[in-house]
Chains A and B, each alone.
Chain A
Amino acid sequence: MNENRRQILEMLAAGKITADEAERLIAALEPGPATSVGQQTGSAASSSATGATPKTRAKYLRVLVDADESMTGMKGPTSVNVRVPMQLLRAGVRLASLIPAQAHDQLDDALKGHGVPLTLSQIKPENLEELIDHLEDLTVDVNGSEGNTTKVRVFCE
């Protein structure tokens, strides 16, 4: 048993931390892919609780769109194939912290006007990290019906 694990167990025995916290700390000590703090409290804890092996982290967000002429009115088929690295998304959401406080009200109003009732000042960097982490589980499949052959796929890989 290594020193860190022993310290965690001693803290648990002394009642300084709960069993859940001890489990998370021990899970964080185990070797594996690099994880963020948000993930340690979320994914790693849940995977250790269920006994499942941790899945590999998605590296890209893919957006695929296929539409035919009848849908777009354009000549020939239309397709969009976009692959965005998750690392770029993470870096992008961190830029939100650069938005000046004075602009928050204006942005909140604009978002509300578009049906997105968000309060930017309440969004913390750790929330954004968590959002990106959960984006890895996102899959959206849209198939047209009644002669509409448009297909939209959003997923992580």
Chain B
Amino acid sequence: MIPNFAVIGIQTPHWHTPRLWLPLFLLWIPVILLSPLIFLVLVGFAITTRTTIWRLIAMAWGLLGGLPGTHVHVRADGNQVLVRIL
């Protein structure tokens, strides 16, 4: 499943943001609009790396599909950063 939301929170001793819910599914709109350009970039990359474009698409899809569930929370020196991908 591809990621639908990213939750980002940043906190310092002086200020903090509320947790931002970024709707990643909205990125499909620019991706679809830019798909011809993305396709050309993929073709170029496929030629450079001597692989097939379908394999590249499969790898990119695999990366996208693996992202949900990622959770990174770092707290140091009074600062906190939280990134979650849902």
Interface, chain A (partner B; CB < 8 A): 59-60, 72, 74-85, 87-92, 94-95, 97-98, 100
Main secondary structure of the interface of B (DSSP, over half): mixed
Answer whether residue B32 sits at the interface, using C-beta atoms and an 8 A cutoff. no
Total cross-chain contacts (CB, 8 A): 69
Answer whether residue B65 sits at the interface, using C-beta atoms and an 8 A cutoff. yes
Q: Is the CB of B59 within 8 A of A59?
A: no
- Give the distance to chain A from B38, nearest Cβ to Cβ, in Å: 17
1/0 per position for B56-86, CB-CB distance to A under 8 A?
1001001101111111111111100000000
The complex places the Cα of A90 from the Cα of B59 at a distance, in Å, of 10
Main secondary structure of the interface of A (DSSP, over half): mixed
- 12 A-B Cβ contacts within 8 A? A80-B75, A81-B71, A83-B69, A85-B66, A85-B67, A87-B62, A89-B66, A91-B59, A92-B63, A97-B51, A100-B48, A100-B49
- Contacting A79 at CB < 8 Å: which of B49, B70, B75? B75
Q: Is the CB of B63 within 8 A of A91?
A: yes
User: Which residues on the A side are within 8 Å of B73 (C-beta)?
Assistant: 79-82
